[in-house]
Amino acid sequence: MKTKFFVVALILLPIILLAQSSNLTLDVDEVVSKMTLEQKAKQVVGMRMRSPGAPQTTAPVVGQTEDRVPDAAGSTYAIPELAIPSMVVADGPAGLRITPIRGNDSTKTYYATAFPIATLLASTWDTSLVRNVGYTIGNEVLEYGVDIILMPALNLHRNPLCGRNFEYYSEDPLITGSIAAAMVKGLQSTGIGTSIKHFAANNQETNRNNINTIVSERALRELYLKGFEIAVKRSHPWTMMSSYNKINGVYTSESNDLLTLILRNDWDFKGFVMTDWFGGKDPVDQMKAGNDLLMPGVPQQSQVIMEAVKDGALDIKILDNNVKRILNIISRSPAFKKYQYSDKPDLKAHAQVARTAAAEGMVLLKNENSALPLKNEKRLALFGNSSYDLIVGGTGSGDVNEAYSISFEKGLIDAGYTLDDSLRHLYLKYLKEEKAKQPKPRFFRVPSPIPQMSIPVNTIDKIAEKAEVAIVTIGRISGEFTDRKLEGDFYLDSVEQELLENVSTVFHARSKKVIAVLNIGGVIEVTSWRDKVDAILLVWQPGQEGGAAFADVLSGKVNPSGKLATTFPMKYEDVPSSNNFPGTSPDNPEKVVYEEGTYVGYRYFNTFNVKPAYEFGYGLSYTDFSYGKVKLNSNIFKEKLTATLTITNTGKAAGKEIVELYISAPGKRLAKPASELKGYAKTKLLKPGASETVSFVITTQDLASFDPQRTSWIAEAGDYTVKIGSSSNNIQATATFKLPDELVVEKLNKALAPAVDINELTK
Ligand code: BGC
């Protein structure tokens, strides 16, 4: 009892301390009235930070706190005489990115916990788990003296080749928005702020700074903005980060439509907007559009803003508003409250949170003859480079500097498995030699992957004599600046294919199982090789505790309950955007036209009956579940409806089930995808035979489509079907209801319309 109390008190301590210091206040209007034009113009421009490792190019400004957290992504301008401190901002989204060793201090380290990538977190479909991850990351942010973390990132998985998909959640806006909202709530509950990014339609890395995204109003509202809308309305992030790209001809950071009409007027966002690093072109247009802070900031931007005010090109009232929005947030920040951070977050406890989250988001894609969990098999042959060299996460600003990581090799040994030693040594020697040959890694860039080692069949044969099970890991890494390639990335290369083929032939000849493990950040092709293996476990890039979590799932200590929040197609050409990604020319496209409109991911596959390899919402368990009948509280829709059904664990292991609710709308005037996800729930851990009743509330918004002609969300009159199932293709229970009359659910501002008529895109 006493220990429990102590642990709770310890966890709450930072919040209590922050609250105690929160009686400091800032009268924003009064402060702004005292500011000079120069101070205002500096307040809206960041204090340009050095790139990690690079020498300081400009001397720190007196009174600034540029070195409070050296090498963080950026900071804001301080005006000590007006009691305005500098806020420090640093990256996410897989944890806090700061430099672990500081030149000026050899006595301490500043490691952060590398959590699983966003795509894995979304695969948990578990908002309380994600909220707890957010809370844990938030504690590291607070305790390392950072005010705002630049996360979560919530662009949609429009195409599997986007190099930063690992930082993003899903192809579906409901999963994206609800998981992001849970993350923001968890992070901000510690007293720090977030910046949800990259707002908006930033779905590729190729020419990201200038690409002109041509997209219909309907696809924007229903897909590319929707996740942001949900996150803003549910979780009130302190800040937003505009993206690099243009939408329909205008840089997002210079778009009044996006940042004022939609974000502030339609969604009632109260925080401030910052640019992505060096994003957009014209500081004056950015101020006018409502992009309040230019990051990381260059002194010339302040000059341009000052001159524009002086010559009348920028109304001082606009600048005052930009400043006020920033000061409002500063007044809530740990820096303003003088929070005494410890530089000592409890990394040991946080590692446990990372381990639990990793195991919860792993997805079991195939499990022939219940190959998994391993039963009495203890002697394993571990193939594949990334079995020994875990890919923790992706590269670029989303990379975390963790103190250690647990490889699959270590995770399995720690869990009591014996690994074939000759194979282990072969890999460890090979990896050491190949790493020595690698060019020095370029900061922020994706390292060239070490080619998969080719292993002769007779060697595999010898290994198979003793080992009981073969595990083959396929690894992939990607990151900022570049999109992925098809050959040797989306598709397996010939050595990988050969490895799977040979291991499969040799082990199966001895009636021994082969398990494939996917240590990847984005979707790959599985169709050509999946028949060769008995089970496939998708572990994503699982964070620093990946190997331990992997062993938890392999051994059955954790029953996998993750499901795909993104479709695995049979082949790349099946992806609806495959013809127009990354744009008009493959290397340096000027524009990209989202011709597929709203038919992204499962919305396309299910409507046009294109069979995916593994569909959206899919994932197996070590147990089975049965779905009862769905009950609606009425079959006439008034203001809302409730759908209820009971799930029973009919198998032999305890497990959790993700229950998915889709709606098929009449789609008469506005064509609609065959079905769309409108709700989901995850049961608690159900023992064999146990049941849980889940219920969903269906609102008018869930029935509506965005009608560009009326600039409104419209719910068409007619018959709707509620489809509840274990994936988007595996519907277990249905019910229908009627909406007697059309409803105009919401009338909005006309905004972001493409200049050319691309009505035909609004399929
Ligand atoms: C990335 C952002 C990141 C920023 C600061 C940019 O290159 O696009 O996601 O937050 O850098 O590091």
Closest residue to atom 9 of ligand 1, CA basis: 397
Do 570 and 691 lie in a common domain?
no
The CATH number that applies at residue 559 is 3.40.50.1700
Closest residue to atom 5 of ligand 1, CA basis: 73
Q: How many domains does the chain have?
A: 2
Q: Is 197 in the pocket of ligand 1 (CB under 6 A)?
A: yes
Do 388 and 532 lie in a common domain?
yes
The structure tokens 């504690």 sit at 139
Give residue 23's pLDDT: 67
Token representation of residue 523: 């979707």
Per-residue exposure over 381-408, b if at least 16 CB sit within 10 Å of its own CB, e if not: bbbbbbbbbbbbbbbbbbbbbbeebbbb
Ligand 1, closest atom to CA 198? 9
In a domain, 227, yes or no: no
How far away, in angstroms, is 29 Cα from ligand 1 center? 31
Alpha helix ranges (H) inside 345-468: 347-361, 385-388, 408-414, 421-437, 457-466
In a domain, 46, yes or no: no
Mutate to test the pocket of ligand 1, among 49, 150, 252 (most ligand atoms within 8 A of CB): 150
Do 569 and 657 lie in a common domain?
no
In a domain, 705, yes or no: yes
pLDDT, one tens digit per residue, over 173-202 is 999 999 999 999 999 999 999 999 999 999
Contact 194, 200 (CB under 8 A): no
Give residue 64's pLDDT: 53
Give residue 762's pLDDT: 42
In a domain, 701, yes or no: yes
In a domain, 547, yes or no: yes
Q: Is 702 in the pocket of ligand 1 (CB under 6 A)?
A: no
Do 672 and 524 lie in a common domain?
no
Q: Is 73 in the pocket of ligand 1 (CB under 6 A)?
A: yes
**E strands, 520-577, in order:** 535-538
How far away, in angstroms, is 46 Cα from ligand 1 center? 14
Do 406 and 506 lie in a common domain?
yes
Closest residue to atom 6 of ligand 1, CA basis: 277
Give residue 760's pLDDT: 53
Mutate to test the pocket of ligand 1, among 276, 400, 401 (most ligand atoms within 8 A of CB): 276
In a domain, 368, yes or no: yes
Do 581 and 629 lie in a common domain?
no
Collect the ranges in the chain with pLDDT lower than 70.
1-23, 49-67, 757-763
Q: Is 49 in the pocket of ligand 1 (CB under 6 A)?
A: no
In a domain, 714, yes or no: yes
Do 469 and 424 lie in a common domain?
yes
Mutate to test the pocket of ligand 1, among 245, 399, 480 (most ligand atoms within 8 A of CB): 480
Q: Is 397 in the pocket of ligand 1 (CB under 6 A)?
A: yes
Q: Is 251 in the pocket of ligand 1 (CB under 6 A)?
A: no
Q: Is 91 in the pocket of ligand 1 (CB under 6 A)?
A: yes
**Out of 147, 276, 285, 552, which one is annotated catalytic?**
276
Do 545 and 501 lie in a common domain?
yes
Do 581 and 687 lie in a common domain?
no
Closest residue to atom 3 of ligand 1, CA basis: 397
Give residue 271's pLDDT: 98
Nearest C-alpha neighbor of 705 from the set 610, 618, 554, 603: 603
Residue 682's domain comprises: 624-747
C-alpha distance from residue 641 to each of 6, 233, 326, 755 (Å):
44, 21, 41, 39
Closest residue to atom 4 of ligand 1, CA basis: 277
**Is the entire prediction scored with pTM above 0.75?**
yes
Do 487 and 566 lie in a common domain?
yes
Classify strands 625-627 and 631-632 as parallel, antiparallel or unpaired. unpaired
User: How far, rounded to the nearest angstrom, does the alpha carbon of residue 367 sit from its chain's CA centroid?
Assistant: 27
Instruction: Please state, in angstroms and rounded to a whole number, the distance separating the CA atoms of residues 131 and 170.
Output: 17
How do the residues of the chain divide into helix, strand and coil, expressed in percent and rounded to 5?
35, 20, 45
Do 559 and 665 lie in a common domain?
no
In a domain, 199, yes or no: no
Ligand 1, closest atom to CA 296? 5
How far away, in angstroms, is 277 Cα from ligand 1 center? 6
Do 431 and 513 lie in a common domain?
yes
pLDDT, one tens digit per residue, over 326-371 is 999 999 999 999 999 999 999 999 999 999 999 999 999 999 999 9
Q: Is 71 in the pocket of ligand 1 (CB under 6 A)?
A: no
pLDDT, one tens digit per residue, over 701-756 is 999 999 999 999 999 999 999 999 999 999 999 999 999 999 999 999 899 999 87
Mean pLDDT of all residues belonging to the chain:
94
Nearest C-alpha neighbor of 199 from the set 231, 174, 172: 231
The CATH number that applies at residue 655 is 2.60.40.10
Decide if 276 is catalytic. yes
Ligand 1, closest atom to CA 92? 10
Q: Is 199 in the pocket of ligand 1 (CB under 6 A)?
A: no
